[in-house]
Each structure stands twice: as structure tokens, then as C-alpha cells.
Amino acid sequence: MPRDPRISSLVSAIAGGLVVLVIGALLLATDVIDTGKTTREVIRQEPITRNASNEDGGLTVRDIYKRDAPGVVFITAHIVRRSESPFGPLPERGTASGSGFVLDKDGNILTNAHVVQGATDVQVKFEKGDAVDAKVEGTDLSTDLAVIKVDTDSKKLKPLKLGDSGKVNVGDPAIAIGNPFGFDRTVTTGIVSALQRQIDAPNGLKIKDVIQTDASINPGNSGGPLLDGTGKVVGINSQIATPTGGSVGIGFAIPINTAKRLMPQLEKGSLGRAYVGVTTITVTKRIAEAFNLAQDHGALVQEVDRGGPADKAGIHGGRIETTEGLRAGGDLIVKIDGTDIRTSQDVAKAIADNHSGDEVKVEYYRGKDKKTAQVKLAKRPASLDQQQPLPDTLPLP
């Protein structure tokens, strides 16, 4: 199935981190930039428009920057990833950079998971002073969130106030603080352009209810805060849509309410996502007719993880390689806990808020016979988070 060009243009703001660091190094080597003090404050500025959703207001961008910038940090992660070569998998070492912000006086810092994914060591630089070592406490690739922790003088820790992303409206002011292209603690402004967008998580799942903003976001902004007109964090800057690799005014921030819900678990370790243990494809009318399915929508099971939750509940797959190509004849999932399943993505969405050990009712067809199964969800294996989902297509006989 051809990919939507808008989707293919989504670029993680940190994805170009390695290139950014190379460019930054060249600039630093020739003394073109000085990352010591790269952000200048506006001298005269009217108060920005007050959010319609709250009673606070009267702050200028300068006020907000002065108060909140000390709580924004510059993150450097040394990473090791495996790349294929004629000699087999080889370790590939590099450095990624991004942003984050202080959550509390205990040293917890929130950032994007893709900023620290695969990191062998992480360092954090505050507004003043040298970089300090940080420990990755927990990550969740499904929401692209991570909590890291530093052990440092509490005087350096300037926690930011968290807002309520559920009260954000289109047209509200938006302020981003981060480290684009290595320029530390840069502030940009704009508005909330749209709500309830969806972006791809690092593991291929969808992140929902994402905030779109035209505040300028570039590589290096990843993990930094998106603030409202009162200076409270309403989102975590994560991705941009761009044809050039730079900001064109379409940025995306993960809502802070998503982070608030997961932070208690992230601070204790990587989030154990629940999973059903199936690989499915979306059923279309053509697929339904080709395989004589009971209905023309749902998630057709192709593979069942051996010993996984679905396998233990008796759900069957039907992914078979033949000389004619890929044939499918597995069970057709149509509901999970009363939620209609129309596409393969709906399976992950239906259990997104569940935890390992929870039981869900799965309704499915085997041929023309409708069946139900109580599936006890298990912790999602870490290896699955590194895999991309199968293309949502199926060769037909």
C-alpha cells in the first residue's frame, strides 16, 4: 500500500542528531557559534494572549523564559546500534543529542525515548556548570517517553510546572524551549495549530492525541517542553513534518497528560506494555471475498506467538508460505472488551491502557463460527519493541 507522503515526511526531531552534532562540531571548530550564550531575550514585549482555558495570564515570553529555561537541560547520549554489513551485524557507535526538563528536586528529568534509546551512557548539561552523568530510569517506546535521573546539587534542579493538556485549545499560545542544532536553551513561539493528531512511535505504534504547533522545532528540540501562555508544560516536543529536514512550522508534541499517567511507572523502570501475542492485518472487502471471511472488516490473525496470551487462549493464526505466495486463514478478531476492531491497529489501541495480568474478552470468527476467549495479557517482550509491524497488505491468490 503506498504510504501517505505526509506520513513519510515525519522526521523525529532527534533523528538527525548524529548529523546535527557533526555540523555543530564543524561550526564550533571554526568559532562560528558560541553555545555558551546563544539565546537573547526580547527587551520590550507585550504580554502574550492568555489561554482561554485558564485564568492565569499576563506573562510575556521573556517572563516565561527567565523562569523556565533553567529547568530545561541539554542531553547527550552515546549510543551503540547494530548495522548490517557483508560480514554480519556490526556495532555502530554514535552520539545523539536532545532536550529534556526537570520534573522534581529528586533529579528526575523527562525526555523522549528516542533521545536515549540504545544509550551506553547519558550526560545532562544544566544552564550553568559542567555536564553530569544521568541514569536512564525507564522508557516507553510506545509513547516515545523516557525518564532519566541525575544525582546533583538540588540547587541546580529547577522543576517546571506541569499543566493540563486536556484543556488546551486550538489557537492557544505555544512556547518551545530546547536545544535545536546545539544552540542551547533556544526559545520559539507560536500557537497550538491542531489537536488529536497521530504520529508514529519509535516501535511503529501510533501515539494519539498529539498536539500540533507552529512554534519552530528543529533537530535537538526532542524531549523539550511545549509551554502554554502561563509557562506550564502541556507537551513534550517530539517530531516535525518537513520536506527539508528543518522546521516548516509543523511540529508535534506528546500531551503532558499522557506523560503524567505513565511517569510513576517510568520512574521505577521501563514500562511493561501489555500485549496479546498476535500479528494481524486489516481485512478489506477483497480479502474477505478471497478467503470467504464472515465479515469484511476486522483484524485477521496471521501469526500467534507460541506460548503467548492468545496462544494460551486458543486463538489460531493462519500465516502460511506456499508456492503461490502468502495465504491467510486465521481467526478474525472483531471485538476486544466490547471495542469494535476494524483494523489491525485497533488491536493495539484496545489494550493500550491495560497492564500485564489484565484479562480481556476477545470476540472472533473462525470461519463462519463466532467465538469468544478470555485472554490474560502478558508483559510485552522488549524484543518486540525493536521490530516494525508487518505491512498492512496481503498478497492474494
Residues designated catalytic: 114, 144, 222
H/E element holding 63?
Answer: helix 61-68
Contact between residue 165 and residue 208 where contact means Cβ atoms under 8 Å apart: no
The three grid cell numbers given for residue 176, joined into one nine-digit string:
518551545
124/75 Cα distance (integer angstroms): 5
Q: What's the length of the chain?
A: 397
Q: Which residues contact 87 (CB under 8 A, 6 or more apart)?
A: none
Using alpha carbons only, give the angle 281, 285, 287 rounded to the nearest 5 degrees: 50
Taking Cα atoms as reference points, which of 282, 278, 279, 277 lies closest to residue 393? 282
For residue 125, the cross-strand partners are: 74
The three grid cell numbers given for residue 244, joined into one nine-digit string:
527539508
Q: Which residues contact 11 (CB under 8 A, 6 or more apart)?
A: 219, 239, 240, 241, 242, 245
Using alpha carbons only, give the angle 214, 219, 221 rounded to the nearest 5 degrees: 65
Kind of pairing between the strands at 233-241 and 10-12: antiparallel
Give the E-state strand segments of 201-319 in sequence order. Answer: 206-213, 225-227, 233-241, 251-255, 274-275, 278-282, 299-304
